[in-house]
Structure 1
């Protein structure tokens, strides 16, 4: 017969196991047939993007790079609404070169985002870039190397103020300064995956999935150079 104390130890162990880091083994994601449905090589400005800044900063696209150099919250939305099944890919490099905003932290994303206050038009509700303003969205949120590059998390927002359900909470993998991070996001029905440099970081099955909405680059007090943004339609 298991004692209450033993049961408590087992329960605590199970909780810790649920938050264990993703396997360190590199893996190559396989998606079968796919076709390009959207892209930006960042050579023709910000025409495909909408920018929300908390305290100003620089967001500019030229010469193949989206430069995000900001002192506080910044959200850079892809204007086109996306519906799954799809794969998003891009490369982001956290800059650490002595600049005032060169804090290596917060390679974050929103995707399949819908604002419950204006569900038919994400941009009909104004937002100013502060993190709490996004509580009213239903979406997935990944925070890679957040909180001064100490945490990597996945959340499923439900459109309620102060409610940000946490799905995964790791203390690694984390950002490496001045190194490219190749990100791949999979939205395929109930399957939600987020890869970095061919490592599967988040692998979630959602019984009530968000399957369409808007994508954004999200960060705060940081400096990133982003390149090679593509969106692929995949065979489900």
Structure 2
């Protein structure tokens, strides 16, 4: 059984079951109003000129340092996550073309409560999860890693040609698929990375990740595959 949270609970807390009559559509978030802590948990490195907020139906990450925003609903079984995301480069204090990053299939082998970190990137080294850092290191690398839960961040693939790096102010359509023993990461309907794994966790979490940049995220959805 997927997603052990009722549609009533989701409606009450602001993350809606987008079509209760269509079983495949599980969650949708329009980021209207303040960020709901029952559905989203930000972990932000405490540096000046850093803030996370919602504006006009978008989640805004505008930070000098590291930032993770976790979707606070456990995910199980086969599913697809989709969202739109843009790196803003328009002269702002944190405008830097870098780090369209994500965590998924995440669990903490040492702690039942995942949300205990400061936002600093190194704090996440002991998690078990998959990670894509698209346009990392000031837009010079795009890497796919599997974190082993013991500090080992295994590099699965790397694509650093210009095609796989970031474009300023471009509206990206991102898709993450978890199906049976395969997970994949897609950008604008192109598969960038894929991995096979016999031991996906029974329950795990998804998170937006970035550092020193100004980004907008919207149209977040989760589907049952």
TM-score by length of 2: 0.84
Aligned position for 1:42: 31
Q: CA 1:156 to 1:34, structure 2 compared with 1: closer, same or farther past 3 Å?
A: farther
* Mapped pair 1:72 → 2:65: yes
Aligned position for 2:6: none
Query: Would the aligned equivalents of 1:153 and 1:166 in 2 still touch at CA under 8 Å?
Result: yes
What is the SS of the residue equivalent to 1:165?
strand
* Mapped pair 1:182 → 2:193: no
Aligned position for 1:21: none
Q: Give the Cα separation in 1 of the matches to 2:146 and 2:201.
A: 9
Instruction: Report the Cα offset of residue 63 of structure 1.
Output: 1.7
Q: CA 1:184 to 1:127, structure 2 compared with 1: closer, same or farther past 3 Å?
A: same
Aligned position for 2:133: 143
Which consecutive unaligned segments of at least 5 residues does structure 1 have? 1-32
Instruction: Report the Cα offset of residue 208 of structure 1.
Output: 3.0
Q: Give the Cα separation in 2 of the matches to 1:112 and 1:81.
A: 10
5 Å-filtered alignment, 1:72-111, equals: 72-111=65-104
What is the SS of the residue equivalent to 2:122?
helix
Aligned position for 2:17: none
* CA displacement, residues 19-62 of structure 1 (integer Å, 9 cap, x when unaligned): xxxxxxxxxxxxxx971111210113211210101134111113
TM-score by length of 1: 0.80
Instruction: Report the Cα offset of residue 211 of structure 1.
Output: 5.4
Q: Give the Cα separation in 2 of the matches to 1:206 and 1:76.
A: 25
What is the SS of the residue equivalent to 1:84?
coil
CA-atom RMSD, angstroms?
1.5
* Mapped pair 1:169 → 2:158: yes
Aligned position for 1:115: 108
Q: Looking at CA atoms only, which structure, 1 or 2, has the larger radius of gyration? A: 1
Query: Would the aligned equivalents of 2:107 and 2:201 in 1 still touch at CA under 8 Å?
Result: no
Q: Give the Cα separation in 2 of the matches to 1:111 and 1:211.
A: 13
Please point out which of 193, 204, 208 is paired with 1:217. Answer: 208
Runs of 4+ off more than 6 Å: none
Q: Give the Cα separation in 2 of the matches to 1:98 and 1:34.
A: 44
Q: When the two structures are aligned, how many residues end up with a matched partner?
A: 198
Instruction: Report the Cα offset of residue 226 of structure 1.
Output: 0.6
